[in-house]
Structure 1
């Protein structure tokens, strides 16, 4: 059965980007001497699902750092061509989260990295996320794009691990309660 996994960073006040989508504050805090586990995480996933906002924030980053196929869920981009330099690495789709997961499962995927605030929110609401690794960056943005939005009901989590880094980052891993 296919499983959705989250690996994301937020400001201490829970934002994944500024109001305009800018994430430079996050990139500036990345300490290459620290191993936050992203490489190990990516090795365990078969594909990445993200939304248009996340794609637009990272599409010009070079080198392209996603080493797995990326599916961008976006009704806006679904009929657009993929940029030439990302051909074969990225595809656009207007599918629903459930349809996207069904399609990827049929293609042999078992573990999918779900990235982007609105996409994560929708996958959580639909019960398509199995676990989340959330890294809190010691910065207060005051406003921005929140990782979590309103929920129809409580979503219970089971804490599995928390670790801290010399840079001040604090990373917690949660499993969604059954």
Structure 2
């Protein structure tokens, strides 16, 4: 019997909870990465922190919305970080031709998650993009979240959790230093039935 993967979130945000600037700018992420590159000899990844590569190695399928997909593709083909991992894009529009293993999926978020779990073949599903993350959290579909806090205050922008339809109590099960950032590991607390 094949084990079932988990639905996971792995995302970076500013200290004040933004995942992008007001116009979707992500340059502040690059500036943080540049700081880490300048301090290679000082690299500190505390045991328990999860690198992007480690997360991808446990991922069997990705699920993102169209805005996130268009943003990632807009970085250029050399910046595609997901290799051959299947990427399901929840959208009502066709995707332009691509060399990536991406396909448009439609229907409910619950169906999209179930289809992504089937495509993941026992590995995890990585949910990406602010809107998709909020919707999955609201629907009770998220098992685990790794949020990397970048040491910058943006002041305004696209919030990671603004627009959530309800409160979501979380259990923190780890916090780790990861280069010049801090990773928070949390899982939603499920209501007992």
Root-mean-square deviation (Å): 1.9
Look up the match of 1:109.
121
Unaligned stretches of 5+ in structure 1?
none
The one-character-per-residue Cα deviations of 1:94-129 (angstroms, maximum 9, x if unpaired) are: 222111122223435341000000000000000110
Q: Distance in 2 between matches of 1:49 and 1:99?
A: 12
Query: Could you say which residue in structure 2 is the equivalent of 1:66?
Result: 82
Q: Which residue of 1 aligns with 2:9?
A: 6
Number of residue pairs matched by the alignment: 172
Query: How far apart are the structure 2 equivalents of 1:123 and 1:50?
Result: 11
Distance 1:140 1:108, change over 3 A: closer
2:109 to 97, 100, 108: 97
Q: How far apart in 1 are the matches of 2:71 and 2:79?
A: 14
1 CA distance for matches of 2:141 and 2:8?
9
Q: Does 2:169 align with 1:153?
A: no
From 82, 97, 113, give the equivalent of 2:96. Answer: 82
Deviation at 1:165, TM superposition (A): 3.7
What is the DSSP-based 3-state SS (H/G/I as helix, E as strand, rest coil) of the residue aligned with 2:88?
A: strand
User: Structure 1 107/170 Cα, relative in aligned 2: closer, same or farther at 3 Å?
Assistant: closer
Q: Which has the larger radius of gyration?
A: 2
Structure 2 counterpart of 1:50, from 64, 69, 72: 64
TM-score with structure 2 length normalisation? 0.81
Structure 2, unaligned stretches of length 5 or more?
none
Please say if residues 8 and 145 of structure 2, whose CA atoms lie closer than 8 Å, have aligned partners that are also in contact: yes
Distance 1:139 1:97 in 2: 32
